Amino acid sequence: MIDLRSDTVTRPTALMRELMAKAEVGDDVFGDDPSVNQLQAYAAELLGFEAALFAPSGTMTNLIALMSHCQRGDEAIVGQNWHTYKWEGGGMAVLGSIQPQPLPHQPDGSIALADIASAIKPDDPHFARTRLIVVENTTGGQVLSVEYMQQVQQLAKQRGLACHIDGARIFNAATAIAAKDGSDVYQKARQLVAGYDSVSVCLSKGLGAPVGSLLLGSAEFIKRAIRVRKMLGGGMRQAGILAAAGLYALQHQVRRLTEDHDNATLLQQGLCAQAAHYGLTELFVAAPVQSNILFCDLAADFAAFYQQQLQQQGILCTGGSYQAEQGPRVRLRFVTHLDISRQQIEQVLAVSQQAMQLWCAKQ
C-alpha cells in the first residue's frame, strides 16, 4: 500500500521506538516527567520562546491557545480555510465561547492585511471584542513568507491584539523558504514565528512522531495554558514515552523534509506531463506544489475512474467534490511524507499513466 492520504499516517522509525522504550518517565500533570520537560525546554529554546507545553494533538494545542488568549464573548480573526476555523469541530465556539471572524483567502493562501485591519471591531458593546489574530503556515500546502508573517504580527501589536500561529507544518514552511535562499531551516523557523504570542507545532505529521503537539509562548501564557489543558482533559501522566519520540523528531527529522517536498514536486510534474501527453488537461489539473501537499482537480466522471484505478493498486489519497463553472469536479489531495519513497512516487506515476491510457482507450 502507498498511503498518500496525509503525513499523519507516518509511523515511528525503529530508532524512535527504541528511544521511546528507554525514556525516563514521571507524572507530567505534577510536572515531573523528565522527558516531557526536556522536550518542552528544547522546543522553546529552538524557536525562541520562554516556555512550551506538550499536549495530545494539534487541535487541542490550538484550542488551548485560543482559550488562553480569549475570554467568553471575545473574537478571533481567522481564515475561512484555517484549520482552527474549518477543521476542528467548531471548538473555539462550542468549548471556548469565542466568536470566529472568518476572512477570505488570497490566491497565495494569505489573508489580505487590509481585510484583517477592516475586521478588527471598535470598542463598542454591539460587537464581540476582537482579541486575537490567527495565522496558519503552511496553509493547504502553501507557504506564507517571513515578510508576510512579520507584517501580520506587527499589525496585531499596533492594534493591541494577540497573535497565534497554527504552525502544524511550520517546519515544512521553513524548509521550503530555506531551500530557496540557502539558509538554515531552524533559523528560518525562528524567523517565521518571531514576535508571535504563541505557536502550535505538530510532531506527528511530517516530523513522524506517533502522537503530540507543542504549544509555545511566554512563561505566563503557558501557565494559563496548563490550566486550560487540564480542563480539556489533555493532562497526561507518564507521557515521557511520547515526548521522547517528539524530541527525536525535532532533532533528527526536520532536515529530511526536503525529501518530501522533492517527492511532491516529482509527482506534480509527472502528473502534469501525463495529462498533457494524453490530452486530458481539461479533465486533470495538478496545482503547483510549494511543500509536501499536492492538489489535483479532476472532472467528476474521470475522477471516479481514476480513483478506482489507484485504489485497485493500493494507492490511497483523499478527495472531495465541488461545483465549478465547467461542472462537477473532484479535488484529490496527495501528501508526501517520510514513509513515501522516490520509488513509490514512480510507482504512483506508472499507475496514473496506465489509468489515463485506459481512459483514452475507452473514449
Residue 100 Cα distances to 62, 91, 158, 266, angstroms: 13, 10, 21, 38
Q: What is the per-residue pLDDT across 231-278, written as a single tens digit (0 to 9) for each? A: 999 999 999 999 999 999 999 999 999 999 999 999 999 999 999 999
Last residue of a domain, one of 231, 252, 273: 252
Give the Cα-Cα-Cα angle 91, 97, 99 (nearest 5 degrees): 85
- Indicate whether 266 and 191 sit together in one domain: no
- Indicate whether 169 and 32 sit together in one domain: yes
Last residue of a domain, one of 215, 237, 252: 252
Only one residue has cell 488568549, namely 69
Average pLDDT score, the chain: 97
Q: Does residue 317 lie within any of the structural domains? A: yes
Q: What is the per-residue pLDDT across 71-86, written as a single tens digit (0 to 9) for each? A: 999 999 999 999 999 9
293-299 vs 284-286, strand pairing mode: antiparallel
114 contacts: CB under 8 Å, gap ≥ 6: none
Q: What is the predicted pLDDT for the residue at 94?
A: 97
- Indicate whether 117 and 66 sit together in one domain: yes
Last residue of a domain, one of 252, 273, 302: 252
Of 135, 161, 12, whose CA–CA distance to 81 is shortest? 135
In the chain, the number of structural domains is 2
The arithmetic mean of pLDDT across residues 105-110, rounded, is 97
Q: What is the predicted pLDDT for the residue at 145?
A: 98
- Indicate whether 242 and 209 sit together in one domain: yes
258 contacts: CB under 8 Å, gap ≥ 6: 175, 179
Q: What is the predicted pLDDT for the residue at 239?
A: 97
318-324 vs 284-286, strand pairing mode: unpaired
The arithmetic mean of pLDDT across residues 203-211, rounded, is 97
Q: Does residue 69 lie within any of the structural domains? A: yes
Q: Is the pLDDT of residue 65 over 90?
A: yes
Domain that residue 122 falls in: 12-252
Q: Does residue 3 lie within any of the structural domains? A: no
Q: How far apart are CA 190 and CA 185, in angstroms?
A: 9
**CATH value at residue 71:** 3.40.640.10
Helix axes 34-47, 185-193, angle to 10 degrees: 80
Question: In which band, very low, low, confident or very high, does the pLDDT at 90 lie, cut at 50, 70 and 90?
Answer: very high
**CATH value at residue 340:** 3.90.1150.10
DSSP 8-state assignment for residue 3: E
Question: In which band, very low, low, confident or very high, does the pLDDT at 190 lie, cut at 50, 70 and 90?
Answer: very high
Q: What is the predicted pLDDT for the residue at 325?
A: 82
Question: In which band, very low, low, confident or very high, does the pLDDT at 334 lie, cut at 50, 70 and 90?
Answer: very high
- Indicate whether 140 and 21 sit together in one domain: yes
- Indicate whether 71 and 139 sit together in one domain: yes
Q: How many CB atoms lie within 10 A of CB 175?
A: 26
- Indicate whether 83 and 212 sit together in one domain: yes
- Indicate whether 141 and 231 sit together in one domain: yes
The arithmetic mean of pLDDT across residues 116-142, rounded, is 97
The arithmetic mean of pLDDT across residues 352-356, rounded, is 97
Q: Does residue 202 lie within any of the structural domains? A: yes
Q: Strand runs (DSSP E) across the chain, as ranges?
A: 2-3, 51-55, 74-79, 99-103, 129-136, 162-166, 198-202, 213-217, 284-286, 293-299, 315-316, 318-324, 327-335
Q: Is the pLDDT of residue 299 over 90?
A: yes
Q: How many CB atoms lie within 10 A of CB 292?
A: 29
Q: Is the pLDDT of residue 327 over 90?
A: no
